[in-house]
Structure 1
Amino acid sequence: MKTIHPESAVKQRYAAAAMTPEAALCCAVDYNRQYLKIIPEEVVQKDYGCGDPSRYLKPAETVLDLGSGAGKICFIAAQIVGPQGKVIGIDMTDEMLAVARRNAPIVAGRLGYANVEFRKGRIQDLALDLEKLDQELKQRPIADSASFLAAEELAQELRLRDPLVASDSVDVVVSNCVLNLVETKSKRQLFEEIFRVLKKGGRAVISDIVSDEAVPERLQNDPQLWSGCISGALTEEGFLQAFADAGFYGMQILKRDDQPWRTVDGIEFRSVTIAAYKGEQGPVPPEQASPFDSSGAGLRPPRETKGRNYNATQAGPCCDGGCS
């Protein structure tokens, strides 16, 4: 079986979409038109999202946008947080960064202040500044295994000495239809990185695609489905659990589309916007500990809910020989 490299598939498709808009990469989203007035049309047309996490931001906050693409959410956020706030966009695709960076001065001129910057990095490794690594590697190119190992040491040194995003440095992490694009083996690290960079008391507000049942391996081996926000989608329960596993609390579903965006092999994929909070770490004082609630919902598997894969029971007498 051919090996699929999700990150390469994503970079190739989004690099192309930075050149020519691709409608299939996004869901219809109703943004506040007030904030779109100052954003250049190129940015609007090359936006690929499934929700609007920006509507949950507040003035003067420091905001980090994961997978910022052409910069639309960043430019909306810049208006909401105002001149006292700050917005940082992270993307790994050079072509998308080029679109965002060339339009940033235009937005700043129309706003009257500049509070947005775009940095190159992988959202599952927010400590490594890829542009600084590129600069170092120009001086010390990789030519053999020894220089490869030296480059790995250099990358780790950069993470510690000069991180792309420092720990406990942002108020809000937002993302719009990007977390699903990260390969499965890096998902845990991704959520841990979101937790790391948030200040205590900070929050993540994430719009993304989730599925109503686990995505099977055959769909995960399709590069078009990976780059199209399908193969890497977590189940809704799995998405919430990933936040909890990283240390978040108070997860809320702020918005959930009733109708699926796409249905593939009977699996429904829809947009949700989730909020999750950092700051509940440490032991709970005994006086604040509430009784454990052992009640819970017995959820029916998705295939049964959709009318498949279950055995229907039949009405009949309660005893074989009749009841006396």
Structure 2
Amino acid sequence: MATDVSTGFVTDAVKDYYGKLLSSSQDLKTSACCTAEAPPPHIADALTRVHEEVKDRFYGCGSPIPAALDGITVLDLGCGSGRDAYVLSQLVGPKGRIIGVDMTEEQLAVARRRQDWHAERFGWANTEFHQGYIEDLAGAGIADDSIDLVVSNCVLNLSPDKPRVFREIFRVLKPGGELYFSDVFADRRLPATLMGDAELVGECLAGALYTEDFRRLMADSGCADARTVAASPITLSSPDIERKIGFASFTSRTVRAFNVPLEDRCEDYGQVAVYRGVLPEHPHAFDLDDHHRLHTGKPMLVCGNTADMLSRTRYAPHFTVTGDRTTHFGLFPCAPADAAATSGTETWSGCC
């Protein structure tokens, strides 16, 4: 996973691309840094109250905004012009706190310029924006165990030192805290030399996370089970970029992980979870990931990891989880439904 290209080159390339070369999302040459699907209604509604200049300078690939946000502290990595930060500002409410970190001064200038405008419109001021690097959150003033939720929108791929980023994320997350992010993933390891191409770096392709290396990075950071929430293919509309990339294919994925001790496989303890249906935006069902949709009031047999994700995090008030670890029934058949359908066999792999 190492690269022969200097960290300084990558950092400068990203700063120039997003600070100087791009004037709006319309200047992008691929769909990698564009949101593929319409946001949920409550987020779409919040977006109507975000300043147009902030939205015009948005370069994201998803909608990494989970549920159960009231009153929590959120850290937005690579916050850019502040679009997601200002959406989150509304959802956490006046008792919550939003901290944005970005290294590009031109982007931060937009976010800061509109703070008073948003505070007046929302009725509260709960945003702050720090200049800094996501590899060094301590340098940006983020303390240990101080954050309930870390979000990021198509930024982690831009880092030249991803292991350090994930170590920093789990350093600042409180026990039970959540990482919820959207980013670009590749189906193979890409040549390190691509990180020397400023355009491919800026288009979020050269640094795309190889899915298996991501799994290993998370395990090294202390997270044995990260879940894919949603995924969609990325279109490479530029022939020149297609030529440079070769045969690799890319997806935009939204992923969640928790700062909770988990097992590296999904184990069966006979536990059952019931969603209470009390989250306003999710009255009928809650999607934990792409293969766990918990319908309101309907008991669902879950693995030990899923039970812990629902009972040892801020989601605990919204679920009833029964059963303990006194009896073990072996591995739990916990995998995406499409994986089993594709293979034609029963799948007993872990959830990650």
TM bracket, shorter-chain basis: 0.7 to 0.9
Partner in structure 2 of residue 310 of structure 1: none
Distance 2:106 2:326 in 1: 51
**In the TM superposition, what is the alpha-carbon distance from 1:217 to its structure 2 partner?**
2.9
Counterpart selection for 1:251 from 209, 223, 226: 226
**In the TM superposition, what is the alpha-carbon distance from 1:281 to its structure 2 partner?**
7.7
Distance 1:67 1:289 in 2: 44
Partner in structure 2 of residue 132 of structure 1: none
Cα RMSD, aligned residues only: 2.8
Distance 2:126 2:235 in 1: 34
Letter in 1 for 2:252: S
**In the TM superposition, what is the alpha-carbon distance from 1:295 to its structure 2 partner?**
10
Secondary structure of the corresponding residue to residue 69 of structure 1: coil
**1:283-294 matches, cutoff 5 A:** 293=331
Matched, 1:61 2:72: yes
Identity %: 38
Partner in structure 2 of residue 36 of structure 1: 47
Counterpart selection for 1:167 from 144, 148, 162: 144
Counterpart selection for 1:114 from 112, 121, 125: 125
Letter in 1 for 2:260: G
Counterpart selection for 1:193 from 158, 161, 168: 168
Gaps of 5+ in 1: 130-163, 298-324
- Describe the superposition over 1:26-83 as per-residue Cα deviations: whole angstroms up to 9, x where unpaired: 2234233201111111111110000111144521111000000000000011111111
Partner in structure 1 of residue 208 of structure 2: 233
Question: Does structure 1 conserve the Cα–Cα contact (< 8 Å) formed by 2:170 and 2:259?
Answer: yes
The structure with the greater share of residues assigned to helix is 1
> Scaled by the length of structure 1, what TM-score is found?
0.73
> Scaled by the length of structure 2, what TM-score is found?
0.67
Matched, 1:270 2:270: no
- Describe the superposition over 1:89-139 as per-residue Cα deviations: whole angstroms up to 9, x where unpaired: 00011111100000111111100001111011100100013xxxxxxxxxx
CA distance 1:84–1:18, shift in 2 (3 Å): farther
Partner in structure 2 of residue 176 of structure 1: 153
**1:280-319 matches, cutoff 5 A:** 280=261, 293=331
Counterpart selection for 2:136 from 106, 125, 138: 125
Question: Does structure 1 conserve the Cα–Cα contact (< 8 Å) formed by 2:5 and 2:193?
Answer: no
Partner in structure 1 of residue 293 of structure 2: none
CA distance 1:18–1:42, shift in 2 (3 Å): farther
Question: Does structure 2 conserve the Cα–Cα contact (< 8 Å) formed by 1:64 and 1:89?
Answer: yes
**1:81-120 matches, cutoff 5 A:** 81-120=92-131
Letter in 2 for 1:26: C
Question: Does structure 2 conserve the Cα–Cα contact (< 8 Å) formed by 1:174 and 1:205?
Answer: yes
Question: Does structure 2 conserve the Cα–Cα contact (< 8 Å) formed by 1:210 and 1:236?
Answer: yes
Q: How many residues align?
A: 258
Distance 1:3 1:281 in 2: 35
Distance 2:93 2:168 in 1: 26
Distance 1:72 1:239 in 2: 26
- Describe the superposition over 1:177-208 as per-residue Cα deviations: whole angstroms up to 9, x where unpaired: 0000001xx21111000000000000100100
Secondary structure of the corresponding residue to residue 267 of structure 1: coil
CA distance 1:82–1:215, shift in 2 (3 Å): same
CA distance 1:288–1:222, shift in 2 (3 Å): farther
Letter in 2 for 1:275: R
Secondary structure of the corresponding residue to residue 64 of structure 1: strand
Gaps of 5+ in 2: 237-241, 264-324, 336-352
Question: Does structure 2 conserve the Cα–Cα contact (< 8 Å) formed by 1:78 and 1:115?
Answer: yes
